[in-house]
Amino acid sequence: MAEAFIDAFDAVLSDLDGVVYAGPHAIPGAPEALRGLAQRGVRLGYVTNNASRSPAEVAAHLRELGAPAADDDVVSSAQAGAALLARQVPAGSRVLVAGSAALAHEVELRGLVPVRSAHDDPVAVIQGFSPDLGWRELAEASYAVASGALWIATNTDLTIPQARGIAPGNGSLVNAVRAATGKEPLVAGKPEAPLFLTAAERLGAERPVVVGDRLDTDILGGNRAGFATAAVLTGVDTKETILAARTAERPKFILATLADFYEPYPAPEAADGGWRAGRSAARVEGGSIRITGSPEDINAWRAACAAWWEAHPEAERKTAPELVWES
């Protein structure tokens, strides 16, 4: 019997939004797939750029959805942002928090004093996602940053998956302050490597796989950390955007859902001047890819990616080919 995909790894470092849940609801089958990891001896950690809730709150939500999660299993960009902040400013410094109460709490835990107004003369601004963040908070952050305060963003995700669709993320709100000030923030969370390295160290993992739905944060960050990366098609990025990805954001693996953990993974192999995965095959012809298979078959996309990426090994920009399908 062929080995399941997950048996090659000793830990999963999983994103949350778009992988485990969308908004308040679990993605169908995700909690069950995550519960099955322990039976295979595979450890589980969650790495999230969402700084609106504390790790304990995130873990409680995961348990409500049926996913296994202890409080320490969650590593958030709020924690990373507060840690970065504490390395930049003296203990006891005032810091304007443009974000959630959970982010303010992480700042307090680092011996810093959260404030909410530029009138309080903060030496730094830390900005993280909160669904309640409005114009007044963004304006206060802008005033402080323009006056010379250090500016740290927990993350720069432009969008965030919600139950009703894709909504603006922290990166969109960061862009508002950037536009008002002409300044650039230091970024603590994904796609930087420290979040993933911290999570792997916490789990004692030697062969982790990073699983995420976003190329520009999860996959880029996992690649930067030197880990195997798997893009799952339940969130933001699609088969088409993965195929077009620039080199730094290309995943090693593509999964339809987390249920693919327990299926054999037919790694693409070079064959007949192209690439084959399962019963599907693909070859590059100029600016197009000729694919033998069905658009509904994920193996066809795995083969197409292998073929296109071999033809464009050093792509600094997205490169979308024309697709020619043959049954």
Q: Kindly list the catalytic residues.
A: 15, 17
Question: Taken in order 95, 96, 100, 101, is the CA torsion positive or negative?
Answer: positive
* CA 244 to chain CA mean position, Å: 18
CA-wise closest residue to 267 among 275, 232, 313 = 275
CB 245 within 8 Å of CB 217: no
Distance separating alpha carbons of residues 11 and 6, to the nearest angstrom: 9
Query: Which residue matches tokens 């508002």?
Result: 176
Q: How far apart are CA 147 and CA 96, in angstroms?
A: 13
Instruction: Enter the DSSP assignment of 207.
Output: S
List CB contacts of 74: < 8 A, sequence separation 6 or more.
Answer: 45, 46, 48, 55, 56, 58, 59, 62
Q: Cα torsion at 149, 100, 235, 163 (round to 10°)? A: -140
Sort strands 150-153 and 124-127 into parallel, antiparallel or unpaired. Answer: parallel
How far apart are alpha carbons 231 and 210 in whole angstroms? 8
Partners of residue 186 on adjacent β-strands: 152
Q: Residues 217, 241, 285, 317: is their CA dihedral positive or negative?
A: negative
Q: Which two tokens stand for residue 249?
A: 């954001």
Nearest residue to 125 via CA among 108, 141, 148:
141
